[in-house]
Structure 1
Amino acid sequence: MTSISLPFTDAFLRLGLPFPGLSVPLRVFLTLLLLGLFSGLLVMLYRYETRLIRPRFAVALLTLRLISFALIFLTLSLEPVLARSVKEEVPGKVLIAVDRSDSMKVTDPTRPLAEKLRIAKVLKLVPDLASDAQLEAWAKDCETGGLPRFALLGGEGESRRFEAVVKKIDEVNRLDLCSRILTKDGLGLIDAVREKHGIELIGFGKDVIALPVGADRLAEALSSAAGKKDGQTTLYTDLKLPLIRASKSVGDGVDASGPKLLGVVLLTDGRHNWGESPALRARELGERKVPVFSVAIAPKDPPADIAVVSAQAQAATVFKGSIVPVEVGVRITGWPAGKVKVSLDFPTNPDGSKKPPLEESVDHDGRDAVYPLTFKAKMDEPGPQLMTVTAEGGEKDRFPENNRRSARVNVVKDRAKVMLIDGESRWEFHYLHTCLGRDPNMDIRSTVFRQPRIGKLNDEELRKMGTPANKLPDDLEVLTSYDCIVLGDVEQSQMNPAQREAIEKYVAESGGTLVMLAGKRAMPLEYANAENDPFRKLLPLRNPKAFISDDGFPLNITGEGERSWFLSMGDTAGQNRAAWDRLPLHYWATVGELKDGAEALAVVPGGGVRDRAVIARQSYGFGRVLYVGIDSTWRWRFKVGDFYHHRFWGQVAQWAASDRLLPVTNATGTIRFGTREPIYSGGQEVEFVVRTSDAVKKLGPNSLKGARVIRLPDSVDGKETSVGLIPLTNPDGRPRDLSGKAHDLTPGKYAVELEIPEWTDQLQGPPGPDGRATKLRCTFEVAPPDNEELVDLAANLSLLEELAQAGGGKVYTIENAKELVDALAAQSATREYFIERPLRQSWWILGVFLAFITLEWILRKWAGLP
């Protein structure tokens, strides 16, 4: 449709093209063809009539006929519509959302005095103690001199009133402030808006509830919420929820019949800590002309507080006796300088005993900061372990709830079983064998193919002396019992194809971890051109080549390498980078291009990340492969002994063992599944993973595949209840893996069973009490969540500004919230619609057409034409 504005009016003419259903170029062509055809016929008639009548009569007849044809063509072919827009004022609506999370239930006695007094003035908090003029005068004094200047006469009484005012303000929590903003006792936002528009009032935290609009009931609802614990619903703030609610009730659709949404008002501290950012939702509302207004209820500066903001064990699963790093972050704000004690408590042992806590201290310099700490926790008890990190704030700490946070790790009984395989006893093998052999958490076996033996002692005597074997075990199935195999500089002639295939099977089917350690003789260059060799397939690199530097070169750790805890050489990120920078240089390496799906953890200087990888890893079947492209990690012992060398290889061995097997395996060992961790925190996503071998039927894109989550009973006589079915999907690049995530599981014990009809026969578990086969299941636990609400109690003004800017909104403080009340009261909602009238239905057009046809007939008869 084409619109043509009509001059001197607010109307316009819409024209279309005939022949609907055809392409636009073809419709234009046929329209012009039709127009030209009829115009040509009229011109031919004109030429014929000029021989019969006077030319002026012929021209007049041609003009009348062209006008008549134009009218009929315009009316019937182009379907003209005369339209004009009409705007009318309609009822509007404002969505007001009150943050009811735990952070809104606190008071703010540390607000600046001037801010407190102006809040009291705006919200009419102390009308019985001080007038608005008195409050403003005190506020100005506080801004200039710190405290009000009381008069000499009567100053004592004024001072007492001032103290009473401050005390009363300090006792008002944030939800009570919201109540005063909304009701007529304070700003009266609800009444001001309701004079012209409708209101929807909701409360939100991790969910949304409706709030009563009546002043008395609202004040009572918010007051009771301030002193009540609502489980997980108030432990988090999801700022998306009111925006999602708003997007469903905008009232801007073509068929919208309800009131138009004029804006969203958020009464909140802006601390979003659940789910994705609300910014995208705010932008969507902005595109629909719905602004987001916010009133920042919290002060911009945090209160005096000590909070543990993070506590994370660097390995999900470790062996009994292992030392696992637990990284902790402690935020200190508004606190005097001095030492702050931080401790890590271990859980109580089954026999009732308890290991002494680990203790560290933070040297706080008086400035607001987040202090990183690392605890080295030795795990002596098997099973899921829930450790608690606590920062001591003392009696001055108003929020002891945020002083502790939990860290979880699963401890298994065995030692890490590691096999070392090398072509000869080179320096790298010698120091690695000695280093890991001294570690009480390692069970080391080794094989060196080329050894200078003289035959005086038999193999059993040599084994007792700790001498490496000179061949692999005859039963290659023994390899599957190892958590990690370190494959050194082995030549093709030293391992036959069956042995190399057994190594591949160990990784792909048994879920083992293979470390490929480069050497100058063979690994990996000798296998680079062996197309179907298992070692070439296992290598995370393609096109390997030697990298040699006479001046030496460092290893540059990539971003992914810094995030890999087993490459950590220091307790903090800064210490880690400094340690890698201090390590001795290397002079030879084998580097290459990353295969698809592989990750570079370290590179040599002078190239890109993907084409000069020297330390890389990749998943391979059930297991994974780590490639170390140097043969000189033993140099890291220079002047420091085993410190860095043992730390690196000990962490690699622990990493290899920590994720080798998923918790549950079917009878044939072809399917493994379970959760990533044994214990999750309430509100945390629970990830389910399934891995299959090549012997399992590959599922098609339309195959049914899911994981059923079952809540286990809390008591012996309780019943299991099904929570839901979680869909499983294939991760990118891993067609034999499945994964899925469950959300919002409440604290308790759970089990998960696979629901995959095509694998039913392979998912049978042990017989139940009735003798019938049961389904395989994996159990896990969801622990009560850490309270995220009290971690940061200052207003998040940057996020609120982002939400406001997305759609023309604004961020207000309590002090200037009256401007918001006035702005909303002055807003009006309009609806624009069009009044359309097709010209072919107009009697005027018909009359004009008949007039021209009649005039043409009269003129034709007058000229003597038939």
Structure 2
Amino acid sequence: MMGKLIHLLWGGGTGPGRSATSVHFSLGISHPWLAVLGLVAITVVGIWSYRAQSVVPKLRWIMGALRGLVLLLVLLMFCRPMLVVSQTLRTRSVVAVWVDTSASMSLRDRYPVGSPMHVMVQQVEMHGATHVPTSPGPAVRQAGDFVRRPSRFALARWSLTGSAGHWLQRLVQRQEVAIFTGGSSPTLVGTAHNAKELAGLMDRLAHKQPVHRSTDVPGIVAGIFQQLQGRPIGGIILLTDGRSTPGGAIAPVQALARDHASPIFGVAIGRRHQPFNVQLQQVQAPRHAFVQDPVAIRAAVRLSGATQPLTVRLHLYRQNANGSRGAVLASKSVLLSPSQAVTPVQLVFHPNEPGHYQFMLGITPVPGQLTRRGDVASGISTDVVQAKIKVLYVDGYPRWEYRYLKNDLLREKTVQLSCLLLSADNAFAQEGNLPINRFPDTQKEMDRYDVLLLGDVDPDYFSAKQQDLILHFVARHGGGFGMIAGPYYAPNAYRSTPLAQLLPIVPDDASNPALQPPPNQPFELHLTDAGRNSTVFQFFSSEKANLKQVANLPPLYWYQPVLGLQASATMLADLPSRTINGRPMPLLVLGRYGAGRTMFSAIADTWRWRYYHDSPLYKSYWLEMVRLLDRSRAFGQASSMSMTVPSRHVEAGLPVTVSLQVRDPILQSQMPPQVRLNLVNAAGAIMEPVMLSRVDSGGGKYEGTVTLWRSGDYQLAAPAGELPKSVPAIHLTAALPNREFANPTADPQGLTRLVAGTGGKLLPLPQASQLAHLVPDRSVETLLTQSRQMWNKPIALLLVVLLLTVEWILRKRSGLV
């Protein structure tokens, strides 16, 4: 009845969300008691006015009452009566529940038998809630994906929907529940106002997968506050392993929680102790190789959570065009030690034909490991070419090194050789399958060759023009240059010649030597890290066998001491027993000069390897050395200007170093101090300029960095007119990082730091039921009061008219009018 009256007076209902309504009248005067006295007086006057009327007493009282009511209504109009409606509006608070869907939530932990988590795992297994895929990828499915042990994500879902999920049902009875998922930013699944809507949200949650590549727990909390701004938040519940990769700052998020008076509750999922797992990391392959080259695929195997040594089996496959696993190229067993977290491994194969090789490296699955995501690595490739290398070998006299090296290169089918022995008389027929009787006099003749090897040759043999030809051959045309030391000329006699620029070492002064000659005592070759990784010493597929073979090589007896290395040199072998400037004496050194590669060998008796051992070792050493010097030409890296990046497949969000190398001195003089490149996305839009700065004063090397923040395909190119010569653009592919498995342990300490100071609490998953009474109800009750004046309403006039009409009718029937 009251609702109908309010509807009549207000033109509407009480509205949704109002829990209680009260109605009363009020007078718009400051002294209501005067109005009461006036009402009584007027009523008495109205009745008294009919005391002398000659009518039936009953009618006299009725007409007096009617007149009193009329006078009463008139007086009420002057008192401005109002109808006051008071309504209480209740706004329900929201409880935000975030279920972590980052990839680490796909891990399947083992828990101690009898522990509360183990009991929960058994309950989940009994109810068949374990079928949450570890990964949607084909490589993981091949390794065997569906296991009985539930994932962290399955346990989180079970705590919301299973027999342990009654706490969420109780929360939705008095507050709204908003379900979020995501890894670095929250995604709203929906908001439930009752149990039926909550069941619908749980059905939608069942179709989510833990696939996000990163986790930012503080960022999730900040995002939830932003999405729910303007609404009272009872609390934020985080169902996660707590491991951010990496995450944002905690302090601003805690300040947000305090400002909103909304506590944060953490529900820790996963084990804090390092779980047992085997994972492939840092897989690398050379970008280019020759047919029959030893192609080394290097990787690292990470072992965690093991208590005893473990032997794993690795397989290198050729990946098919459709991404499936092809033929086995190499296999290897590796012994992993619990005391060594990361074990470097190397698998070597020798390609028999040219082409583009896509590889897939895999580990045979190990029973009991945490996840099999790291068992397979793909996306690595090598371009294999087949080419005949043209070598010009010049030596001063027929020493043993010349004889053995010349014979082995002549027998190699992939090498075409021209030999020039300077001590021979004019009638001597120079050896080689590319006959020659003099050193080239023109650049065209010089450029017929790919590699120039100089032995113990008097530098005065070369004219100034020929020395210039050699410099241009290496610097501009990408030719390879190697020098084999000798007791007479190489390398010290070249110290003051233009050809000294080609040497990766600093030669001694031939006229006034600062170094003592080497003693005639046997010594062994010591490989540096670069030497062990170089193809020059890849005699066998096994790295262990290679090192053993190097150790068993016949001893050497002579070397040419030098003063040191050039800044950009790479030392492959040294002699630790003799030092120069505190460093071991260099024996085998590589370098770069312009577009070409250079080499210096301080030893000249590698022929002993051939004399005392089988031919293949000696032949492999020098064949790989020649191929190494030819790489710039053979692989198209001999242009006068080139732009490079360490890898064309990069991780989004990480800086990538971009290098521009200008090898032509003429072009170097035309270069600006800075070079601008454009970063263009797949749609053709210029994203941002990339600036490269000169890194060597007066040189031709420029470097800069670019960061690709989003995944996708990009292109780096110099705008028209920026460079004196066009440079091919670089195509880059950025992929989102997947750091979820770098540390698979849960991080309850991080959650503890986050909830501290917000009024919340960290709970283990089996105790999540406590949230039903821990999460406060921050619903807001608002009192709304509305008043409407009654004296100016049509109903008031109607009442006065009605009363007067009734009185007039009664007076007329009584004969008073």
The equivalent of 1:225 in structure 2 is: 208
For the residue of structure 1 that corresponds to 2:153, the secondary structure is: helix
Taking a change above 3 Å as real, the CA distance of residues 293 and 625 of structure 1, as seen in their structure-2 partners, is farther
Counterpart amino acid of residue 206 in structure 2? S
For the residue of structure 1 that corresponds to 2:154, the secondary structure is: helix
Taking a change above 3 Å as real, the CA distance of residues 702 and 671 of structure 1, as seen in their structure-2 partners, is closer
Residues 551-700 of structure 1: pairs in structure 2 closer than 5 A: 551-568=521-538, 571=541, 574-583=544-553, 584-605=555-576, 606-607=578-579, 610=583, 612-637=585-610, 639-660=612-633, 670-673=640-643, 680=649, 689-692=659-662, 693-696=664-667, 697-700=669-672
Q: Distance in 1 between matches of 2:237 and 2:506?
A: 56
Q: Distance in 2 between matches of 1:349 and 1:411?
A: 17
For the residue of structure 2 that corresponds to 1:499, the secondary structure is: helix
Q: Does 1:426 align with 2:384?
A: no
Counterpart amino acid of residue 671 in structure 1? M
The equivalent of 1:114 in structure 2 is: 114
Q: Distance in 2 between matches of 1:736 and 1:685?
A: 19
Q: Does 1:268 align with 2:217?
A: no
The equivalent of 1:754 in structure 2 is: 717
Residues 208-247 of structure 1: pairs in structure 2 closer than 5 A: 208-212=185-189, 219=202, 222-226=205-209, 234=211, 237-239=213-215, 241-242=216-217
Among 517, 528, 537, the alignment partner of 2:484 is 517
Taking a change above 3 Å as real, the CA distance of residues 413 and 555 of structure 1, as seen in their structure-2 partners, is closer
Taking a change above 3 Å as real, the CA distance of residues 423 and 269 of structure 1, as seen in their structure-2 partners, is farther
Taking a change above 3 Å as real, the CA distance of residues 615 and 173 of structure 1, as seen in their structure-2 partners, is same
Unmatched 5+ stretches in structure 1: 1-92, 130-167, 228-233, 252-256, 273-277, 712-720, 764-775, 827-866
Displacement of 1:403 after TM fit? 4.4
Q: Distance in 2 between matches of 1:651 and 1:292?
A: 62
Unmatched 5+ stretches in structure 2: 1-93, 129-145, 192-197, 258-263, 509-514, 777-817
Q: Is the 8 A contact 2:218 2:250 kept in 1?
A: no
For the residue of structure 2 that corresponds to 1:360, the secondary structure is: strand
Whose Rg is larger?
2
The equivalent of 1:104 in structure 2 is: 105
Q: Is the 8 A contact 2:121 2:155 kept in 1?
A: no
For the residue of structure 2 that corresponds to 1:626, the secondary structure is: strand
Taking a change above 3 Å as real, the CA distance of residues 670 and 336 of structure 1, as seen in their structure-2 partners, is closer
The size of the alignment, in residue pairs, is 631
The equivalent of 1:175 in structure 2 is: 153
The equivalent of 1:387 in structure 2 is: 359
The equivalent of 1:549 in structure 2 is: 519
The equivalent of 1:440 in structure 2 is: 413
Q: Is the 8 A contact 2:568 2:591 kept in 1?
A: yes
Q: Is the 8 A contact 1:211 1:221 kept in 2?
A: no
Taking a change above 3 Å as real, the CA distance of residues 535 and 472 of structure 1, as seen in their structure-2 partners, is same
Q: Is the 8 A contact 2:291 2:351 kept in 1?
A: yes
Q: Is the 8 A contact 2:575 2:584 kept in 1?
A: no
Among 777, 792, 795, the alignment partner of 2:744 is 795
Displacement of 1:526 after TM fit? 0.9
Displacement of 1:216 after TM fit? 6.0
Residues 767-846 of structure 1: pairs in structure 2 closer than 5 A: 777-778=728-729, 795-796=744-745, 814=764
Q: Distance in 2 between matches of 1:493 and 1:688?
A: 41
Query: TM-score normalized by structure 1?
Result: 0.57
The equivalent of 1:736 in structure 2 is: 701
Taking a change above 3 Å as real, the CA distance of residues 296 and 127 of structure 1, as seen in their structure-2 partners, is closer
Counterpart amino acid of residue 672 in structure 2? G
Q: Does 1:484 align with 2:430?
A: no
Taking a change above 3 Å as real, the CA distance of residues 329 and 762 of structure 1, as seen in their structure-2 partners, is closer
Taking a change above 3 Å as real, the CA distance of residues 267 and 653 of structure 1, as seen in their structure-2 partners, is farther
For the residue of structure 2 that corresponds to 1:346, the secondary structure is: strand
The equivalent of 2:465 in structure 1 is: 498
Displacement of 1:182 after TM fit? 7.7
Q: Distance in 2 between matches of 1:223 and 1:487?
A: 72
Q: Distance in 2 between matches of 1:652 and 1:820?
A: 71
Aligned CA-pair RMSD: 5.9
Displacement of 1:428 after TM fit? 1.9
Displacement of 1:409 after TM fit? 0.4
Q: Is the 8 A contact 1:246 1:264 kept in 2?
A: no
Q: Distance in 2 between matches of 1:622 and 1:811?
A: 63
The equivalent of 1:727 in structure 2 is: 690
Residues 109-148 of structure 1: pairs in structure 2 closer than 5 A: 111-115=111-115, 117-121=116-120
Displacement of 1:418 after TM fit? 3.3
Taking a change above 3 Å as real, the CA distance of residues 672 and 505 of structure 1, as seen in their structure-2 partners, is same
Displacement of 1:410 after TM fit? 0.8
Residues 182-193 of structure 1: pairs in structure 2 closer than 5 A: 185=164
Q: Is the 8 A contact 1:422 1:490 kept in 2?
A: yes
The equivalent of 1:362 in structure 2 is: 333
Q: Distance in 1 between matches of 2:707 and 2:682?
A: 12
Q: Does 1:704 align with 2:694?
A: no
Encode CA deviations 1:389-434: one digit per residue, 9 max, x unaligned.
4455599999776544333101224233433232223222222223
The equivalent of 1:538 in structure 2 is: 502
For the residue of structure 2 that corresponds to 1:379, the secondary structure is: coil
Q: Distance in 1 between matches of 2:265 and 2:452?
A: 58
Of stretches 610-619 and 428-437 in structure 1, the one that deviates more from structure 2 is 610-619
Q: Is the 8 A contact 2:355 2:383 kept in 1?
A: yes
Q: Distance in 2 between matches of 1:104 and 1:681?
A: 25
Displacement of 1:755 after TM fit? 2.0
Displacement of 1:223 after TM fit? 3.1
Taking a change above 3 Å as real, the CA distance of residues 344 and 672 of structure 1, as seen in their structure-2 partners, is same
Encode CA deviations 1:322-342: one digit per residue, 9 max, x unaligned.
442334666789999999765
Counterpart amino acid of residue 498 in structure 1? K
Q: Distance in 1 between matches of 2:390 and 2:710?
A: 36
Taking a change above 3 Å as real, the CA distance of residues 522 and 218 of structure 1, as seen in their structure-2 partners, is farther
Q: Distance in 1 between matches of 2:621 and 2:420?
A: 21
Taking a change above 3 Å as real, the CA distance of residues 191 and 611 of structure 1, as seen in their structure-2 partners, is farther
Taking a change above 3 Å as real, the CA distance of residues 105 and 338 of structure 1, as seen in their structure-2 partners, is closer
Percent identity over the alignment is 18
Displacement of 1:317 after TM fit? 0.9
Q: Is the 8 A contact 1:685 1:741 kept in 2?
A: yes
Taking a change above 3 Å as real, the CA distance of residues 553 and 503 of structure 1, as seen in their structure-2 partners, is same
Counterpart amino acid of residue 114 in structure 1? G
The equivalent of 1:39 in structure 2 is: none
Taking a change above 3 Å as real, the CA distance of residues 808 and 802 of structure 1, as seen in their structure-2 partners, is same
Taking a change above 3 Å as real, the CA distance of residues 463 and 360 of structure 1, as seen in their structure-2 partners, is closer
Encode CA deviations 1:339-381: one digit per residue, 9 max, x unaligned.
976544436699xxx9964353538799999887654433344
Q: Distance in 1 between matches of 2:548 and 2:749?
A: 38
Displacement of 1:630 after TM fit? 1.6
Counterpart amino acid of residue 518 in structure 1? A
The equivalent of 1:35 in structure 2 is: none
Q: Distance in 1 between matches of 2:393 and 2:535?
A: 22
Displacement of 1:494 after TM fit? 1.8
Q: Is the 8 A contact 1:338 1:365 kept in 2?
A: yes
Displacement of 1:478 after TM fit? 3.8
Taking a change above 3 Å as real, the CA distance of residues 723 and 177 of structure 1, as seen in their structure-2 partners, is farther
Counterpart amino acid of residue 554 in structure 1? E
